[in-house]
Structure 1
Amino acid sequence: MNKHIIPGILCLALLAACNGGPKEQSGRQGKGGVYYGGTFRVNEITNFRSLYPLDVTELVAVNITNQIFEGLVKLSPKDLSVVPCLAEKWIHNDSANIWTFYIRKGVHFQDDPCFEGGKGREITADDFKWCFDQLCTAGPQNSQFQLTFKGLVEGADNCYQLTASGKPLPSGGVPGIKVIDANTLQIKLTHPAPTFLEILTMAGCCLYPKEALAKYGRDIRIHCVGTGPFYLREIQEGQALVLARNSNYWNVDENGNQLPYLESIKYTFVKEKRSELLEFQKDNLDMMYQIPVEIIPQILGNLNSQNNSNSVDYVLQQYPALETYFFGFNTQNKVFSNKYLRQAFNYAIDRDKIVTYTMKGEGIPADNGFVPEMPGYDNTKVKGYTFDADKAKELLTKAGYPNGKGLGEITLETNSDGGTRNDQLADEVKKMLEENLNITVNISKVPFPQHLDALERGKIGFFREGWNADYPDPQTFLSLLYGANVPKDSNARSNANPFRYKSAHFDSLYQAALVTVNDSARNKLYEAADQTAVNDAPFLCVFYDENYYLLHNYVKNFYGNSMDYRDFSRVYLIPPDKRTPSNTNPNPTPAAPQGNGNN
């Protein structure tokens, strides 16, 4: 994977000089030159729906909960490899279907009123057993089962179906999840799974105490209790959220310094990227993720021209993202159940023009499959759609709507928050569909949580969406197209397959890939599955995204990556009185993600 970290001075008129950063830093120095204290300030342009691990579905919630909750394993932000977390080690049998995890001793939940005396208790294997049983229990706040343990853990599907019908879990919970002793957990799989450890890094597999669910009920969505380096101290939904340092955190760095270094993390929710940029310029933010497309050429040009300067005020990290930006179709919708219509829409869009002019060069035109290129997976072998107005009109006629006649007005729903990019892209897609198909497209804008709920419940036929990898493997994208994830009830939530797409051929290829342990053979099956879905067109892919991080040069140990996977436990800030412009790189270059080996 190609990536770039470009140091330089931003001399643009829109970016003022740095004048100090956060004032609340204590500046205590630890071993190895790290500094303690300070508040890392970051903005999110969309609101979260829930911070409850089982109902985390959008990236903003993932980024926040990653700092609060932990699982058996986690990803390294440096290279996205799986590393130990609450399990200090693990083994599996020769068949790789029975895994044994050894839980760290001495790890405590964060202090919270849900515990007796308000003091967090020590975790045990029983806590993981309880959480995983909850993951396999149907309920309105469980959006993670289909993406994690479904079809994977022995007895998980039966437990989910039982609870979905109103029956309780069987005695002993999920049969495939067993507590061996206080610090040993065993999980039995239905088949060897090459991505099992990666799946365990997902939010739904994180640990939280039963006491929290008992005390807060449905309000657990904003009452977070985990084992992570930060705890939720303050929250004003839609405005601000503050995470504070967990002084009882279990982990230390290579020099024996207790983690984390930061005193707190403050999230704001300014919806406009230009306003966010102004806050960064004023030194009110320490990092900016994703730069407004209209100023990217200026910033890149200026940084490159200043690359040999004697001082560096800002740093730009840039990575091809494991994210696909697309517009989806509800294939069970009366209008969009028509495959020829969906194909006509796909041919009517000029992706190269969108990336070049609307996106100002940000992103890669999605001329291939649903899955972006990633280590070990060559998406160029999948043939996607290229702009062909004549072909689009031909397919529109084949769909029964010659020259658009009889189709009626189409509504495209997008979320009103998320910056100007969503608006610009929706407007451009609308324009191209109207010009090339002679149809009328109306754009409906609603807040992101409302938009997400509507598309998951099948209330809209044509919608804006994007998918960021949960882990670096094609499975995390193609699982969204798996027919078994479509609920029988047309009104039920279908978060794991928002297209409500069903294809026996796709499912057979996907299922074969799930049990294939050889990387090369598995990726060939994924390529064939992706091609099958592309041909059926349940989506209109526009581009594969890129991740941009603009940071002040006093920010250390922040590793951007292709998944925007964030871990602030080792990030620190140089105190104001020790800051000097430097042409050295303040954030070491992370290695490219590696392909998954055979288990």
Structure 2
Amino acid sequence: MMRTISMMRRAAAVALAVVMTVSMAACGSQSTAADTQDLVVARSLETTDMLPATGYSNGDIWAIQQVYQTLTRNKTDGSGVEPGLAESWQESDDGLSWTFRLRHGVTFHNGAEMTAKDVKFSIDFARTARDDKPWQFLFEAISGVDVIDDYTVRLDLSEPWAPLLSDLSMSAISIMPADFAGMSETEFRSHPIGTGPYKVGEWKKGDYIRFVRNDDYWEKNRPRLNSVTFKYVADANTRSQMVQSGQAQIDEFPTAVSVSALNKTKNVHVASFPSTSLIWVNLNNRKKPLDDVHVRRALAYAIDKQAIVRAVYYGQAESANSMLSKNLMGYSKDVKDLQYSMKKAKGELAKSNAPKHFSLTIQVQSGDPEKSMLAQILQESWKELGVDVTLQTLDSTTVYSNRTSGDFDVAMFEMTNDISDPDEWMQYMFSSSANVNSGYDNPQVDDLINKAAADSDRATRLKYYAEVQQIIADEAPEIPLVYKPGLFAVRDQVKDFTVTTLGEYKLADTTIARE
């Protein structure tokens, strides 16, 4: 492992030298957008889908949130929800129905007023099962939606459902105009209409999506920018260069090794926000020998997370003990993970049905030096167990599509929760129908997750969630690596840029000052 860490350090030094060279060259540069209110964000993930119910990755979700809105919305610190398009709500005594009163005077981007009819259409569309709707499981407890009047809607439930208010803040259940405003679903995908602070101005898939200000937005004096462009740039070094030269004002997720150099660059600083981010290893439990719990435990024991924190993240992350984010309700600090021990790793492998030598392929997202370094560390660590690891570099869209189809052995991902309740994370990551498609199937885990969602008592829910986390830690269907803050390289001219703990970009308040 020491040889691996040394190799990683040398690779990191090269990357740092590149950043510092660009930094020195950029010190005298002025932003080309210094005198405008047009923001460019260089993003690591592409926006591929703007239909709320089918949008999948953070590349989609964080774009959808600029255009659409939901009945409830997350608080900035991720601690709960506050009124969104619904200004108030009331739960029935039996917990089986909720009545929501809508804001008056909210209009869609096409000028039509939002009413309860639009809310019913949107919720019914989101909760109707379809193979391309990855978040439909969040809305299964909703059994019916009734329009009471133009500004009142009632949701009926099949059972009491503790996460409901949080579920209604999910981008997948954003409010759209009824019947797609007279368009077909296909047409609406290309010409989305919401109630949010920004409208889609231009969308060049594979390159960028540009949002323009919604002058009729219901929150007064918002938004303050003329436009926001999400520019897809997979390569981390290129994103840093764009911010340093002024081609972009924000770089999403600069590498940890570049932070010090970026903070020394004139007119640039690195902003750090609390986050639910977890970097983790996804194992395909359907494939041999990963279907053997002893093999998975061996792989987990063979990972030195503390070394990863030092070598890859330069102390700007922390070792993860649980597959649930530490900044999310339900996280248990008492979960005992499989801490690094090559002796225990070899002991677990000896108990398995795996051959003495077997092969695995790790799929790695291109342009992400941190994930590349992680993959190399895993490759070297698992080599000591007699595992022949091949690294396969693919673009992020392919890595995600392979996960959906189950076409992978091992992959690494970054997970953030989109709502304030852990139910999304629990179902998405650990249930037998989990969208991470690990193939893990444990009826006890399914039962605990369902019990937690149906119970309104917080202490009881926390107990169930702690049990789930320990089972996952013991059986290692997925392996947590590190918890990360949300890091962004930002030009100093950008003011009031905030990212919530749940990852949403709060761009309605953002402005750009003259440099």
Q: Shared fold by TM > 0.5?
A: yes
The counterpart of 1:545, out of the listed 484, 493, 514, is 484
Please list, as runs of the form range in 1=range in 2, the aligned pairs for 1:87-236 lying within 5 A after superposition. 87-111=86-110, 120-146=111-137, 148-150=138-140, 152-154=141-143, 176-212=144-180, 215-218=183-186, 220-236=188-204
Runs of 5+ consecutive residues of structure 1 not aligned to the other structure: 1-9, 26-37, 112-119, 155-175, 253-257, 304-311, 487-493, 580-599
For 1:290-439, what aligned pairs fall within 5 Å after superposition?
A: 290-299=253-262, 313-366=267-320, 368-374=321-327, 377-401=330-354, 404-405=356-357, 407=358, 409-417=359-367, 419-434=368-383, 436-439=384-387
Deviation at 1:267, TM superposition (A): 1.5
- From the superposition, tell whether residues 220 and 342 of structure 1 become closer, same or farther in structure 2 (CA, over 3 Å): farther
Tell me which moved more, 499-508 or 348-357. Answer: 499-508
CA displacement, residues 364-422 of structure 1 (integer Å, 9 cap, x when unaligned): 112x11012126545321111211111111111211236x33x3x211123225x2222
Deviation for aligned residue 1:129: 1.0
Q: Does 1:443 align with 2:391?
A: yes
Match of 2:458 in 1: 519
Aligned equivalent of 2:24: 13
Preserved contact between residue 410 and residue 440 of structure 1 (Cα < 8 Å): yes
The amino acid across from 2:322 in the alignment is: G
Aligned mates of 2:79, 2:488 — CA distance in 1: 17
CA contact (8 A) 1:55 1:142 kept: yes
Query: What's the offset of the Cα at 1:80?
Result: 5.4
SS of 2:139's equivalent? coil
C-alpha change, 1:295 and 1:416, in structure 2 (3 Å) is: closer
Amino acid at match of 2:385: L
Deviation at 1:192, TM superposition (A): 3.0
Measure the CA separation in 1 of the matches of 2:182 and 2:291: 43
- How far apart are the structure 2 equivalents of 1:126 and 1:266? 32
- 3-state SS in 2 of match to 1:548: strand
Structure 1 residue 314: Cα displacement: 4.0
Counterpart amino acid of 1:413? Q
Q: 1:21 to 1:563 in 2, by over 3 A?
A: farther
**Letter of the structure 1 residue corresponding to residue 161 of structure 2:** A
Equivalent-residue separation in structure 2 for 1:541 and 1:44 (angstroms): 24
Q: Distance in 2 between matches of 1:210 and 1:472?
A: 27
Equivalent residue letter for 1:502: D
Q: Tell me, in whole angstroms, the C-alpha distance in 2 between the residues paired with 1:138 and 1:565.
A: 26
| Structure 2, unaligned runs of 5 or more | 1-19
Range that drifts further, 79-88 or 443-452: 79-88
Equivalent position of 1:466 in the other structure: 414
User: Given the alignment, which residue of 247, 251, 258 partners 1:284?
Assistant: 247
User: Cα 1:142–1:371, aligned 2, differ >3 Å: closer, same or farther?
Assistant: same
The change in CA–CA distance for 1:126 and 1:213 in structure 2 (over 3 A counts) is closer
- Residue 216 of structure 1 deviates from its aligned partner by 4.4
Match of 2:502 in 1: 563
**Could you tell me which amino acid in structure 1 is paired with residue 173 of structure 2?**
C
Mapped to 1, the partners of 2:251 and 2:34 lie a distance apart of 19
What is the match of residue 572 of structure 1? 511
Measure the CA separation in 1 of the matches of 2:190 and 2:334.
44
SS in 1 for 2:427: helix
Q: Secondary structure at the match of 2:464?
A: helix
Preserved CA contact (<8 Å) 2:329 2:420: no
In the TM superposition, what whole-angstrom CA distance separates every residue of 1:15-42 from its partner, at most 9, and x where no partner exists?
A: 52563562552xxxxxxxxxxxx11111
Q: Please give the per-residue CA displacement for 1:341-379, whole angstroms capped at 9, x wherever unaligned.
A: 11111011111111111222231112x110121265453
2:205 aligned partner, one-letter code: E
1:42 — aligned with what?
A: 41
Q: CA deviation at 1:213?
A: 7.7
**TM-score, L = length of structure 2:** 0.90
SS of equivalent residue, structure 1 residue 437: coil
Q: Partner of 1:159 in structure 2? A: none
Query: 1:251 is paired with a residue of what secondary structure?
Result: coil
Match of 1:244 in 2: 212
Cα 1:345–1:221 change in 2 (3 A) is farther
* Residue pair 2:276, 2:501 contacting (<8 A) in 1 also: yes
Residue equivalent to 1:31: none
The answer (yes or no) to whether the contact 2:256–2:314 under 8 Å persists in 1 is yes
CA shift, 1:81, in A, is 3.9
Percent identical? 21
Counterpart AA for 2:278: T
Deviation at 1:222, TM superposition (A): 3.6
SS at match of 1:374: coil
Paired with 1:186 and 1:209, the residues of 2 have a C-alpha distance of 18
Cα distance change of structure 1 residues 281 and 501 upon mapping to structure 2, 3 Å threshold: same
Note if contact 2:106-2:114 (Cα within 8 Å) is conserved in structure 1. yes
My pick for the range that moved more, 533-542 or 472-481, is: 472-481
Structure 2 match to 1:585: none
- Among 219, 236, 248, the alignment partner of 1:273 is 236
Distance change >3 Å, CA 349–CA 78, structure 1 → 2: closer
Shift of 1:137: 2.2
